[in-house]
Amino acid sequence: MQFHSLSSLQSIHQQNNKLIIKTAEAEAQVSIYSPGIIRVNITQHPENKDESFAVIREPVTEIPYQETEQEVTISTTALVLRINKSPLRFSFYTTDGKLISRDDERFGTNWQNSRVTNYRELRPDEKFIGLGEKAGNLNRRGSQYVNWNTDAVDYGPKTDPLYESFPFFIGVHSQLAYGYFLDNTHKSYFDFAASTDDQFIWLGADDGDLNYYFFGAPTVAEIIKDYTWLTGRMEMPPLWSLGYQQCRWSYMSAQEVLDVAQKFRDLNIPADVMYCDIDYMQDFKIFTWNQETFAQPAEFIAKLKALNFKLVTIVDPGIKIEKGYQQYDEGVERGYFATYPNGENYTGEVWPGRCHFPDFFREDVREWWGAAFQALTEPGVEGFWNDMNEPAVWNQNIPWMVKFGDKFMPEVRNVYGMEMARATYDGTRKLLGNKRPFVLTRAAYCGTQRYSAVWTGDNTANDDHLLLGARLVNSLGITGMAMVGVDIGGFSGNPTPELMVRWNSLGTYTPMYRNHAIRFSEYREPWQYGTDNMELIKKSIEQRYRLLPYLYSTFHESSQSGMPVCRTLAITYTHDELIYHEDYQNQFMFGDALLVAPVISTSLTTTVYLPQGNWYRLSSNETFEGQKEYTVSAPLHDLPVFVKAGSIIPMQNFTQSTQDNGDGVLQLNIWNGDAITSLAYYEDDGVSYDYEQGNYHKRTITFNPLSKTVKLLKAEGDYNSRFRQVQFILHGFENQSELDLINYTNEEITFQI
Site for ligand MIG, residues 666 to 695, rule: CB under 6 A: none
CB 245, CB 631: distance < 8 Å: no
Under the criterion CB under 6 A, does residue 390 sit at the interface with ligand MIG?
Answer: no
Smaller CB separation from ligand MIG, 220 or 381: 381
Give the integer Cα–Cα distance in Å for 709 and 752: 5
C-beta of 151: minimal distance to ligand MIG in Å?
Answer: 7
Catalytic-labelled residue, pool 226, 390, 411, 463: 390
**Contact criterion met (CB below 8 Å) for 648 and 713:** no
Least separation, in Å, of the C-beta of 465 and ligand MIG?
14
Distance separating alpha carbons of residues 236 and 271, to the nearest angstrom: 20
Residues that contact ligand MIG, how many (by CB under 6 A): 10
Q: Give the DSSP letter of residue 63.
A: -
Calpha distance 62→74 (Å, rounded): 11
- Give me the amino acid identity at 189: Y
Between 110 and 459, CB nearer to ligand MIG: 459
**CB 289, min distance to ligand MIG, A:** 16
CB 319 within 8 A of CB 328: yes
Specify the residue, 147 or 521, whose C-beta has the smaller distance to ligand MIG. Answer: 521
Site for ligand MIG in 454-473 (CB under 6 A): 457-458
Kindly state the helix (H) or strand (E) to which residue 296 belongs, with its residue range. Answer: none
Question: Rule CB under 6 A: is residue 314 a binding residue for ligand MIG?
Answer: yes
HSE, CB side, 13 Å, CA atoms: give it for residue 215. Answer: 26
Q: Which of 121, 133, 222, 277 binds ligand MIG (CB under 6 A)?
A: 277
Nearer to ligand MIG (CB atom), residue 417 or residue 549: 417
Residue 740: Cβ-neighbour burial (10 angstroms; 0-12, 13-18, 19+): exposed
Q: In Å, how far are 571, 642, 646, 707 from 623, measured between CA atoms?
A: 23, 9, 12, 22
For the CB of residue 201, give the shortest distance to ligand MIG in the complex, in Å: 32
Dist. CA 600–CA 445, nearest whole Å: 31
Compute the distance between CA of residue 264 and CA of residue 532 in angstroms, rounded to an integer. 16
CB 461 within 8 A of CB 493: yes
Cβ-based nearer residue to ligand MIG, 352 or 640: 352
**Smaller CB distance to ligand MIG: residue 36 or 391?**
391
The single-letter code of the amino acid at 153 is V
| Dihedral angle, C-alpha 555, 464, 625, 638, nearest 10 ° | 80
| Whether the Cβ atoms of residue 452 and residue 421 lie closer than 8 Å to each other | yes
**Residue 153 burial (CB count, 10 A):** 13
Which lies closer to ligand MIG via its Cβ, residue 387 or residue 426? Answer: 387
Alpha helices, DSSP H only, in 295-348?
297-306, 326-334
C-beta closer to ligand MIG: residue 456 or 462:
456
Helices (H) and strands (E) in the chain, counts: 12, 49
Closest approach, Cβ 530 to ligand MIG, in A, equals: 26
Give the nearer residue to ligand MIG in terms of CB position, either 457 or 564.
457
Please, what is the minimum distance in Å from the beta carbon of residue 457 to ligand MIG?
A: 5
Nearer to ligand MIG, 314 or 634 (CB): 314
Instruction: For the CB of residue 155, give the shortest distance to ligand MIG in the complex, in Å.
Output: 11
Asked if residue 729 lies in contact with residue 738, where contact means CB atoms within 8 angstroms, the answer is: yes
Alpha helices in 513-583 (DSSP H): 530-546, 548-561, 569-572
| Among the listed residues 209, 387, 463, 684, the single contact to ligand MIG using CB under 6 A | 387
User: What residues have CB less than 8 Å from 47, skipping those under 6 apart?
Assistant: none
Binders in 167-226 for ligand MIG, by CB under 6 A: none
Instruction: Report how far residue 594's alpha carbon sits from residue 618's, in angstroms, rounded to the nearest whole number.
Output: 8
Q: List, as one string, the DSSP characters of 78-119.
A: S-EEEEETTTTEEEEE-TTS-EEEEB-TTT-EEEETTEEEEE
Separation CA 426–CA 439 (nearest Å): 10
| C-alpha distances in Å from residue 354, one per residue of 319, 321, 385 | 8, 6, 21
* CB of residue 394 to ligand MIG, shortest distance in Å: 9
> Cα angle vertex 72, ends 67, 76, to 5°?
105
Q: Shortest distance, CB of residue 516 to ligand MIG, whole angstroms?
A: 6
Q: Is 234 in the site for ligand MIG (CB under 6 A)?
A: no
Smallest distance from ligand MIG to CB 443, Å: 10
Residue 55 burial (CB count, 10 A): 20
The smaller minimum CB distance to ligand MIG, of residues 139 and 150, is found at 150
- Closest CA relative to residue 603, chosen from 638, 647, 650, 564: 638
Q: How far is CA 265 from CA 253, 530, 548, 653, 656, in A?
A: 19, 17, 19, 17, 7
- Among the listed residues 103, 207, 209, 458, the single catalytic one is 458
**387 is a catalytic site residue:** yes
Beta strand 18-22 with 115-121 is: unpaired
Least distance between ligand MIG and beta carbon 80 (Å): 46
Say whether residue 279 binds ligand MIG (CB under 6 A).
no
Dihedral of CA 716/721/725/726: which sign?
negative
Active site residue 663: no
Pick out residues in 496-555 that bind ligand MIG (CB under 6 A). 516
From CA 146, how far away is CA 684, in angstroms rounded?
41
The one among 234, 236, 278, 701 contacting ligand MIG by CB under 6 A: 278
Q: How far is the CB of 388 from ligand MIG (least distance, A)?
A: 6
Nearer to ligand MIG, 226 or 277 (CB): 277
Q: At its nearest, how many Å lie between ligand MIG and the CB of residue 518?
A: 7
Catalytic one of 164, 191, 382, 387: 387
Establish if 249 lies at the interface with ligand MIG (CB under 6 A): yes
Residues 425-454 contacting ligand MIG, CB under 6 A:
442
Separation between Cα atoms, residue 741 and residue 735, nearest integer Å? 17
Quote the crossing angle between the two packed helices 326-334 and 363-372, to the nearest 10°: 170
Q: Which residue number, 90 or 251, has a Cβ lying nearer to ligand MIG?
A: 251
Q: How far is CA 529 from the centre of its chain?
A: 31
The residue sitting closest to ligand MIG, measured at its beta carbon, is 249
- DSSP run (H or E) holding 163: none
Q: Which residues are identified as catalytic?
A: 387, 390, 458
Q: Which residues bind ligand MIG (CB under 6 A)?
A: 249, 277-278, 314, 387-388, 442, 457-458, 516
